[in-house]
Amino acid sequence: MFHDDRMKVCDKVTLLILAAGMGSRYGGLKQLDPIHSSGSFIIDYSIYDAIKAGFDHVVFLIREEHLELFRETVGKRIEPHVRVTYAFQKMDDVPAFVTIPADRQKPWGTAHAVYCCREVIDDAFAVINSDDFYGRDTFKKLAEFLSADKDDKPPHPFCMVGFRLKNTLTENGSVSRGICETTADGYLTKAVERTKIQENDGIIQYFEDGVWHDLDRESIASMNCWGFTPAFLSALEEQVEAFFAANASKLEKAEYYLPFAVQELIERKEAEVTVLSTDAKWHGVTYLDDKPAVMSAIADMIEKGEYPENLWSEGEG
């Protein structure tokens, strides 16, 4: 159950950017790999769009050893334009009863990442990945939903921005996506994780149990782009405790992902997640070979006037 006494969604909105992971398929810290000649990263464009949409606080969830690197790059660029906070995903930020395996090195997953921000977020907030380009429409929809005056009582009003599956693929390999199922009135019932999704001979398919299965091109896919009220953090504290208790004998590899936490609340009828669909095209660098296409797309948007050449020059942002 929830134990949160804040009953109104705040008119201020925070953007939480998950940037603690290292891209194993990409081969490095891709969050801070420039994708424009100005030195801008994908993360810059997300922040720029979020500020334009009305977000007034940015929280970076990073590894503590990357703090100075973030401050000296994207941090110093955006601090004149928006309030910035840094939080850290630490291996030992766990309930007191947990015994961490000596050889555990990998973080505990994206739900734990959000849990690590519980002391620095007080407002309604959105969660995004640092290395995905979501497009301005995404942040407009998130801001409109999160800033609306609504009661934050169970079932709590959360949201997710869903992309058309056809707009989320790469030509350089397969991807994993949560394929969303919804009610007739647009509430998420579940997101089924499909791995090894790619386009084969004009048909989008996923590979499972040795067989290729077709997927509808217009399916709604989750890109880990969520909107929550403050009550979610209270719920998450309880869920994280339950996760560690349930996995006490297998903590060498156990991970707790954000979609799992959301799904639990939906199934307990403690949350209703509105799916805000967008026709925006996702751009990302899942693989190193994706970078030229992302750079080309950004350059094209700049040429069309959708973004300035330098996002954070005087008078911009």
Look at residue 92 and tell me if it is in a domain: yes
pLDDT at 51: 95
Three-state SS letters, the chain: CCCCCCCECCCCEEEEEECCCCECCCCECHHHCCCCCCCCCHHHHHHHHHHHHCCCEEEEEECHHHHHHHHHHHHHHHCCCCEEEEEECCCCCCCCCCCCCCCCCCCCCHHHHHHCCCCCCCCEEEEEECCEECCHHHHHHHHHHHHCCCECCCCEEEEEEEEEHHHCCCCCCCEEEEEEEECCCCEEEEEEEEEEEEEECCEEEEEECCEEEECCCCCEEEEEEEEECCHHHHHHHHHHHHHHHHCHHHCCCCCCCHHHHHHHHHHCCCEEEEEEEECCCCEECCCHHHHHHHHHHHHHHHHCCCCCCCCCCCCCC
160 pLDDT higher than 80: yes
Burial of 61 (0-12, 13-18, 19+ CB in 10 A): buried
Mean pLDDT of the chain: 90
Residue 229 has pLDDT above 60, yes or no: yes
Q: Which of 61-75, 119-133, 195-209, 291-305 has the lowest mean pLDDT?
A: 61-75
Residue 119, domain member (yes or no) = yes
Cross-strand partners of 278: 163
pLDDT at 266 over 80: yes
- pLDDT value, residue 280: 94
Domain membership of residue 6 (yes or no) is no
Q: According to the model, what pLDDT value does residue 29 have?
A: 60
Name residue 279's amino acid.
D
Q: Report the C-alpha gap between 201 and 79 in whole angstroms.
A: 47
Half-sphere exposure at residue 243, Cβ-oriented, CA atoms within 13 angstroms: 24
How far apart are alpha carbons 156 and 45 in whole angstroms? 30
Domain-embedded: residue 69: yes
Q: What residues does 213 pair with on adjacent strands? A: 206
Q: pTM of the prediction?
A: 0.91
Q: Where does the pLDDT of residue 100 fall: very low under 50, low under 70, confident under 90, or very high at 90 and above?
A: very high
**pLDDT value of residue 30:** 60
pLDDT at residue number 11: 66
* pLDDT over threshold 90, residue 32: no
Residue 312, in any domain of the structure: no
pLDDT of residue 67: 92
Is-contact 39 146, C-beta < 8 A?
A: no
Considering its fold, how many domains does the chain have in total? 1
pLDDT of residue 2: 30
Look up tokens 């639990």; give the residue.
264
For residue 88, the enclosing domain spans 13-303
Burial of residue 115, with CB atoms counted within 10 A of its CB: 0-12 exposed, 13-18 middle, 19 or more buried: buried
As a whole number, mean pLDDT of residues 161-181 equals 96
Any domain includes 278:
yes
CATH of the domain at 115: 3.90.550.10
pLDDT > 80? residue 27: no
How far apart, in whole angstroms, are the C-alpha atoms of residue 195 and residue 286? 13
Query: How far apart, in whole angstroms, are the C-alpha atoms of residue 255 and residue 238?
Result: 16
**What integer pLDDT is reported at residue 5 of this predicted model?**
35
Q: Is the pLDDT of residue 1 over 80?
A: no
Residue 273 has what pLDDT?
Answer: 97
User: Does residue 232 belong to any structural domain of this protein?
Assistant: yes
Q: Identify the residue whose tokens are 């209270």.
A: 234
In a domain, 316, yes or no: no
Q: Using CA atoms, how far apart are residues 190 and 181, in angstroms rounded to an integer?
A: 5
